[in-house]
């Protein structure tokens, strides 16, 4: 079984890790823990910043995502010692990168978080988790 675990640099990544280590995945499961450093769109509020500042922001995001990936991958590897656990740090648009990676790798399952909301907005998933659910080439499991 191939399991793609998509995380960002938020506190919700810890919840995904908690969920994954409570599951009973079959022997031989392969895990890829993936994070995507988001492109900064031309025309967004970020585009008014000087180029060196944008690069500094992206470098900080890469570092934070890398740290998150390492911690989660180590936790999964410790809990599933016989499993193959790999880390991937990509750049682009998270919705697209997660779906494309899952398709090219042949994932059987994508685990992705959705930021819990209160009130009426709780019925609306985040845009990344919603896009993954709608377009993924395999099953998707949402962790709140």
CATH of 2-143, one of 3.40.50.150, 3.30.360.10, 3.40.50.620, 3.20.20.70: 3.40.50.620
Model pLDDT for residues 105-141, shown as the tens digit of each residue: 999 999 998 865 544 444 444 688 999 999 999 999 9
DSSP 3-state of 42:
coil
- DSSP tag of 26: P
Measured between alpha carbons, how far is 65 from 80 in angstroms, rounded to an integer? 22
- DSSP tag of 122: G
Whole-structure pTM value: 0.85
Domain ranges of the chain: 2-143
Measured between alpha carbons, how far is 97 from 116 in angstroms, rounded to an integer? 22
Residue 41 has pLDDT above 60, yes or no: no
Under 8 Å between Cβ of 114 and 143:
yes
């Amino acid at each position: 079984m191939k399991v793609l675990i998509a995380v960002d640099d938020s506190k919700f990544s810890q919840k995904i890790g908690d969920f994954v280590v409570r599951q009973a995945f079959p022997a031989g499961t392969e895990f890829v823990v993936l994070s995507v450093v988001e492109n900064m769109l031309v025309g967004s509020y970020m585009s008014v910043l000087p180029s060196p500042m944008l690069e500094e922001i992206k470098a900080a995001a890469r570092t934070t995502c890398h740290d998150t990936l390492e911690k989660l991958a180590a936790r999964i590897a410790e809990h599933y010692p016989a499993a193959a656990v790999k880390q991937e740090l990509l750049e682009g648009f998270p919705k697209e990168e997660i779906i494309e990676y899952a398709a090219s790798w042949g994932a059987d399952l994508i685990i992705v978080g959705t930021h819990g909301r209160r009130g009426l907005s709780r019925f609306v998933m985040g845009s990344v988790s919603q896009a993954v659910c709608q377009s993924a080439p395999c099953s998707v499991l949402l962790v709140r």
